[in-house]
Amino acid sequence: MPTAPAADQLRLLDVQDADLRIQQAEHRRATLPVLAQLEALAAEDAELEVEAIARGTEASDLRREVTKAEDDVQAVRSRKERDEGRLAAGGSNAKDLQALQGELEVLTRRLSDLEDIELEVMERLENAERVEDAVKARRAEIATRRGELEQELAVEEQAIDEQVADAKAERVRAAEGIDAALVSLYERLRDQHGGVGAAALQGSQCLGCHMSLNPADLRAIEAAAPDQVVRCEECGRILVRKD
């Protein structure tokens, strides 16, 4: 059984306390609620970015369709106006006038059809632009909220970093001069047991695993010399006797 001054063993509890505060603070830093909010907003914004590209492409295509529809309408309207002018001017024989009248009827129907197409495409464009604008507006909201959350995160992280720095400084002071072999054993056990390598013995209970020692193990610990480093038979951590 290794040995270390009883005073060093007691000071090891201060080291353990500082290490736990460091570990807990770093866990809080890594699991701040604001981080989850930022992650959710980033995921939403990534989806909206894809949506914005799709809607922008759709709107661009529809603008070209509107331009073509307007050109088609204007071409038929111009031809119809020209024929109406010729018809109003007269001067042609009956057969030509009849043919011109027939063409005007065709152009009128064609113009009506093209105007319906133009209107339908313009409505589709209006809807696409409305969706595109809504996506842009939501992305702007997300950008604003992310900026606010990032400021909040910086403040919270700074506060935790200061707590960690204070705990690390206390840890250095607590560990200064402690038996090197005892510290080495403590560090090894701490790695094995989730950050807790040493715990106080309170009555018959190990405060590391919160298990009660059986009477035989407790008698052996009580009989051990103060400088002997004893271990919990249940969890293997260093047991520090305070009395």
Which residues of the chain carry a pLDDT beneath 70? Answer: 1, 90-92, 243
Give CA angle at 108 (104, 114), nearest 5°: 140
**Per-residue pLDDT reduced to its tens digit, 105-114:** 899 999 999 9
- For residue 91, the model assigns a pLDDT of 63
Query: Tokens 């809504």 map to which residue?
Result: 134
- For residue 242, the model assigns a pLDDT of 85
**Any idea what the CATH number is for the domain that residue 118 is in?**
1.10.287.1700
Per-chain mean pLDDT for the chain: 93
Round to whole Å and give the CA distance between 84 and 234: 105
To 10 degrees, what angle do helices 33-89 and 94-175 make?
Answer: 170
Round to whole Å and give the CA distance between 164 and 16: 14
Number of domains, the chain: 2
Query: Tokens 């106080």 map to which residue?
Result: 200
Tokens (6 digits) for 234: 């249940």
**Per-residue pLDDT reduced to its tens digit, 216-227:** 999 999 999 999
C-alpha dihedral sign at 152, 156, 161, 166: positive
Give domain status of residue 76, yes or no: yes
41 plus 135 within the same structural domain:
yes
Instruction: Answer for the pair 145, 42: CB distance below 8 angstroms, yes or no.
Output: no
Round to whole Å and give the CA distance between 212 and 234: 9
Domain with 66, as residue range(s), is 32-162
Give domain status of residue 188, yes or no: yes
- For residue 95, the model assigns a pLDDT of 78
Round to whole Å and give the CA distance between 45 and 50: 9
Bridge partners of 228, per DSSP, are 3
**Per-residue pLDDT reduced to its tens digit, 144-177:** 999 999 999 999 999 999 999 999 999 999 999 9
- For residue 93, the model assigns a pLDDT of 73
Q: Is pTM, for the whole model, over 0.75?
A: no
What does DSSP assign to residue 2? -
Round to whole Å and give the CA distance between 235 and 243: 21
Give domain status of residue 171, yes or no: no
73 plus 152 within the same structural domain:
yes
- For residue 1, the model assigns a pLDDT of 57
Give domain status of residue 48, yes or no: yes
Instruction: Answer for the pair 197, 189: CB distance below 8 angstroms, yes or no.
Output: yes
42 plus 158 within the same structural domain:
yes
Give the neighbor-by-neighbor strand order of the sheet with 205-206. 205-206, 198-202, 238-241, 230-231
136 plus 55 within the same structural domain:
yes
Round to whole Å and give the CA distance between 42 and 156: 20
Round to whole Å and give the CA distance between 189 and 167: 20
Give domain status of residue 170, yes or no: no
217 plus 130 within the same structural domain:
no
